[in-house]
Amino acid sequence: MPVEPWTCLEDRQLLPEWGLHVGHLDLDGQRLRVALRPAEVQSAAPPLLLFNGIGANLELAGPLMAALPGSTCLIFDVPGAGQSPAPELPYRLGHLARLSGKVLDRFGFEVVDVLGVSWGGGLAQQFTLHAPGRVRRLVLAATSVGALMVPAGPRTLLRMVNPRRYHDMLYLDGIAPELYGGRMRDDPEALRLFARHARGGSARGYRYQLLAIAGWTSLPALCSLRQPTLVLAGRDDPLVPLINARLLAWLLPDARLHVLDDGHLFMLTQPTETAALVSEFTA
């Protein structure tokens, strides 16, 4: 009988709400909190590796992963986010790309589809550039080319660099409409959903994530990303304005764009709709 891939996880527990096997890996002295959700139905598609947004813990991707029954999903809290401790020294996206490859090696996954959201969209692009032979298809959600993007407004950017929203729900209530847009503007349940699952990491870890992507851009290398790519964007996204998605879809050699009537957090607020798009693309 084949060995189940989650057996490599230490301190494994099951989060039954989403069917996630959650535990820890130690890789080169870095402890990572990792979650694997096995496919519920047989599929020929490779596993889906997810990269979350800045400061985001893996539980925030739980609703989306639960809505992907045909995909084996793998996600981890990057160092300093969620329950992965921050390292002593800062890192860059290139380091995280190499670390991601080692996570895949530990699970025995050679080729994957990759989905990156917001900050994680930058890491998804960097990982694909670092290991193009390991990526079959790419999904870029609510993200951009990095430093050369069309930026958000100054007030929105100031709110983004502060991780307080992951710890102070009253503060989140005040800034979520301006920061995230879409359903976060007028849907109390969307706000409660974020508040229920968000578990911020350390302030140092958040700063390290900001430093990891500072000055980084994929713009000169986009033409080399030959993987079929699905670009997803919210029509009302104050943090990553829609024009950035249009730019990605235009510059990537094999990309298509889908715009959802929502804001920056459409993967959380519209998991079923988002999952349907991802499932169709990765089938």
Residue owning tokens 């990537």: 252
Pairing assessment for the beta strands 135-141 and 112-117 based on DSSP bridges? parallel
Q: Which residue is catalytic, options 71, 84, 100, 118?
A: 118
- Structural tokens at position 268: 């959380």
**d(Cα 280, Cα 277) in Å, to the nearest integer?**
5
Q: Are strands 73-76 and 48-51 parallel, antiparallel or unpaired?
A: parallel
Closest-CA residue to 97 (of 81, 74, 120, 63): 120
Q: Could you tell me where the DSSP H helices lie in 8-118?
A: 62-66, 93-107
Going across the sheet that includes 20-27, the strands are: 10-15, 20-27, 30-37, 73-76, 48-51, 112-117, 135-141, 229-234, 255-260
Q: Is 43 a catalytic residue?
A: no
Indicate which residues carry an active-site annotation.
118
